Chains A and B, each alone.
Chain A
Amino acid sequence: MPLLEIENLQVEIEGKKILNGLDLRVNAGEVHAIMGPNGSGKSTLAYVLAGRDDYTVTDGRVTCEGEDLLAMEPDERAAKGLFLAFQYPMEIPGVTAYTFLRTALNAQRKKRGQAELSTPEFMKRVREVAGQLEISQEMLRRAVNVGFSGGEKKRNEILQMALLEPRICVLDETDSGLDIDALRIVADGVNRLRSKDRAMIVITHYQRLLNYIVPDVVHVMTKGRIVRTGSKELAVELEASGYAQFQTELV
């Protein structure tokens, strides 16, 4: 059974159709890249998977290990193991990164019937991962993302992802706004999380990120559906030829 299966997904927002019969199967251990031009529905897909409620699913289904993902609240999806690394991570004034990480982790563990992590255990885990992502302890004592640079915010997303240990990671334009050094730190963080039990969906506009996070499968998305699927070479081909050919194909 695939870890994530999307069949004929149709989604609209305010009466405008964004996803138009999208199909996708992702197995544990695989990294899928979804590439496409602006407005093709990539971010909508990410939000719909995470459970944002301003989108209306008009048809189709999404299952996670056979369970109906669309019937779950966002927090239930998170506890089930779905993680969305946001394109624009939110600032949370008044809540330190430590408190937020701890609250989120314990909320998920509670829902899964696991005991809360002890403080020393939690601190050890945070320090280890934060060190790898070059996130200072000082940053963790500050309010989540408040006053952080774009790169710091993206690293913070990967820190959350690493600590929450999700089964399915959806990375929405994680490379946007990153310089080359930050890109490498973020990509290394993601690569460390690759495992046979975990699936990743990397949404990106550019091929650049895929030099660092090498995908098993590449999909091209335009106008709300996947129009082509191939190996990692497809990304290189796209970088050379652009998306125009796919957009005309559909007309």
Chain B
Amino acid sequence: MNAEIKPIKTAAELKLAASFAAAKDTLPGGPLLSERRLRAFQQFEALGLPHRRIEQWKYTDLRTLMRDAAPLASVPSREAVASATSAGAIFASGGGARRLLFVDGAFASDRSDLGNLEPGLSIMAMGTALAESDSAVVAQCGDVVPTDDVAVALNTAFMGDGAVIRVADDAHIERPIHLVFAFTSKTAAAVFPRSLVVVGRGSRLTLLESFEGPDGVDYQVNSAIELVVGDKANVNHVKVGREGSHALHLSTVMARIGAGSRLQDVALTIGGAVVRNQLFVRFAGEDARLTANSATLIRQRQHVDTTLVIDHAVPGGFSRELNKAVLDDESCGVFQGKIIVAPGAQKTDGKMMSQALLLSERAEADHKPELEIFADDVQCGHGATAGALDQDLLFYVKARGLPQKEAEALLIAAFVGEAFEVIGQQDIKEALMAIAQGWLGARP
């Protein structure tokens, strides 16, 4: 006789189930999508929130960290939208990116810059695309890099609005596109932005994303982007996380990169109580190049997890990952990086490095690099370091006239800055550095 073992559901799991039951008939999309949402939710329900015995979530025990599930955010008021107009100003200098504003998860079209679209560029709201059952969007939804990840499953079940951006073949979109996600509600709420970005063969695009919200509000963001980088295309993605002090932020970038293409992904995180940034990249064509850098500066009891899965499915791929974490007080920085080299993916060149700078004896750094190599003619490597500021170096800098705090700031900024060196656009690099400097300036 077999008794089925059913774990007791947590409060958050029960609330998510109630939310889904209440919302499933009103979420945008036709029958095909409803079916997909239901399957995604059932997948989540079968597993529940991941916990420390689930290897991929070993260091970010969501069952413990996510004590409650916030209700779905309501449509933002006019005042809420107006209050978000200055959001994302970090990338405003230097030419200015094309700004697409999302307030409490909903696209604010009248506050977004949709004028004078470059030839070959099309932009629409995901909410509209789903409501109209745009067959191309629905077909690609969940299909770019298939995954059974639980954060993605929840996003698929609840996905609301986001951007659908398409760049035709051979179109060089020089002006960056900036997705600004602003949370404005004073009460706990959950948003599930979902975007689809398809960049055609030989095209170029720089996509910026920033997330921000108020301190002290227990809001929850679960964001996902599906990104298709066409053959020989060149895409830069820069993400800035400046969520409020109590926010739970899960985000996933799922990218499929074509032959001879190049993807550069850089993430900077300073905000949020619990953050997990996931990047899943699948090399779908030969000789593609990926750079995935991340920088985290956190304090108090913040927890930031950077999880990468780099899937070299075809020969000749090149990948470089660099993670830099600056951890103060009792904060915790997690890095998990997995490089998979499929059988036959010969001449793959993959290297990964994760470095943590501990500014306090109570801070925690967890690194978990993994290599799964099934081809024999490859070059793959990884490294990890964790340590405090070098006292000899600090003395040298102080002996040249810098007071203790400024000497520390100089060395920390230099440590973090390495993650931004790959960025070609000077104004974007400077914007990231300015955010890091702002964090350093707030150190007591």
Binding site for B on A (CB under 8 A): 50-53, 73-75, 77-79, 84, 86, 89-90, 92-95, 100, 103-105, 107-108, 111, 143, 160, 164
Which residue from A53, A77, A90, A103 sits with its C-beta under 8 Å from B410?
Answer: A103
Interface: B395 (CB within 8 A)? yes
Which residue from B392, B403, B417 sits with its C-beta under 8 Å from A90?
Answer: B392
- On whether the beta carbons of A92 and B399 are closer than 8 Å, the reply is no
Known: A95-B410, A103-B410. Is A90-B402 also a contact (CB below 8 A)? no
Interface: B140 (CB within 8 A)? no
Q: Please give the distance in Å from A13's CB to the nearest CB on chain B.
A: 14
12 residue pairs of the A-B complex, CB under 8 angstroms, read A50-B395, A53-B395, A74-B399, A75-B403, A78-B398, A90-B396, A92-B396, A92-B411, A104-B400, A108-B401, A164-B400, A164-B401
Which residue from B393, B398, B415 sits with its C-beta under 8 Å from A75?
Answer: B398
Interface: B397 (CB within 8 A)? yes
- On whether the beta carbons of B414 and A94 are closer than 8 Å, the reply is yes
| Interface residues as binary, B392-430 with A (CB distance below 8 Å gives 1, 0 otherwise) | 110111111111101100110111011000000000000
Chain A residues, CB < 8 A from B393:
90, 92
- On whether the beta carbons of B417 and A50 are closer than 8 Å, the reply is no
Among residues of A, the one whose C-beta sits closest to the C-beta of B406 is A107
- On whether the beta carbons of A75 and B395 are closer than 8 Å, the reply is no
Q: How far is the CA of A95 from the CA of B418 in the complex (A)?
A: 10
- On whether the beta carbons of B398 and A103 are closer than 8 Å, the reply is no
Interface size range of chain B in the complex: 20 to 34
Which residue from A73, A93, A160 sits with its C-beta under 8 Å from B404?
Answer: A73
Q: How far is the CA of A93 from the CA of B415 in the complex (A)?
A: 8
Among B393, B395, B399, B418, the one with the most A-chain Cβ atoms within 10 Å of its Cβ is B399
Chain A residues, CB < 8 A from B404:
73, 75
Q: Please give the distance in Å from B137's CB to the nearest CB on chain A.
A: 42
- On whether the beta carbons of B396 and A95 are closer than 8 Å, the reply is no
Which residue from B401, B410, B411 sits with its C-beta under 8 Å from A78?
Answer: B401
Chain A residues, CB < 8 A from B395:
50-53, 74
Chain B residues, CB < 8 A from A89:
396
Chain A residues, CB < 8 A from B396:
86, 89-90, 92
Which residue from A75, A94, A95 sits with its C-beta under 8 Å from B401?
Answer: A75
Q: Please give the distance in Å from B357's CB to the nearest CB on chain A.
A: 12
Chain A residues, CB < 8 A from B392:
90
Q: Please give the distance in Å from B169's CB to the nearest CB on chain A.
A: 39
Chain A residues, CB < 8 A from B401:
75, 78-79, 104-105, 107-108, 111, 164
Closest 3 CB pairs of A and B: A94-B414, A78-B401, A108-B401
Among A79, A107, A111, the one with the most B-chain Cβ atoms within 10 Å of its Cβ is A107
| Interface residues as binary, B365-404 with A (CB distance below 8 Å gives 1, 0 otherwise) | 0000000000000000000000000001101111111111
Chain B residues, CB < 8 A from A84:
399
Among residues of B, the one whose C-beta sits closest to the C-beta of A53 is B395
Known: A75-B403, A95-B414, A160-B400. 14 other contacts (CB 8 A): A51-B398, A52-B395, A73-B404, A74-B398, A75-B398, A77-B399, A84-B399, A92-B410, A93-B414, A94-B415, A100-B397, A103-B410, A104-B402, A164-B400
Q: How far is the CA of A75 from the CA of B396 in the complex (A)?
A: 10
- On whether the beta carbons of B403 and A107 are closer than 8 Å, the reply is yes
Among residues of A, the one whose C-beta sits closest to the C-beta of B390 is A90
- On whether the beta carbons of B397 and A92 are closer than 8 Å, the reply is yes
Q: How far is the CA of A100 from the CA of B400 in the complex (A)?
A: 9
Q: How far is the CA of A241 from the CA of B399 in the complex (A)?
A: 36
Which residue from A51, A100, A111 sits with its C-beta under 8 Å from B399?
Answer: A51
- On whether the beta carbons of A73 and B403 are closer than 8 Å, the reply is yes
Q: Please give the distance in Å from B389's CB to the nearest CB on chain A.
A: 12
- On whether the beta carbons of B418 and A93 are closer than 8 Å, the reply is yes
Q: How far is the CA of A86 from the CA of B396 in the complex (A)?
A: 8
Known: A52-B395, A74-B395, A92-B397. Is A103-B414 also a contact (CB below 8 A)? no
Q: How far is the CA of A50 from the CA of B401 in the complex (A)?
A: 11
Q: How far is the CA of A78 from the CA of B399 in the complex (A)?
A: 6
Q: Please give the distance in Å from A239's CB to the nearest CB on chain B.
A: 31
Among A52, A93, A94, the one with the most B-chain Cβ atoms within 10 Å of its Cβ is A94
Chain B residues, CB < 8 A from A90:
392-393, 396
Among residues of A, the one whose C-beta sits closest to the C-beta of B413 is A94
- On whether the beta carbons of A73 and B418 are closer than 8 Å, the reply is no
Q: How far is the CA of A164 from the CA of B410 in the complex (A)?
A: 18
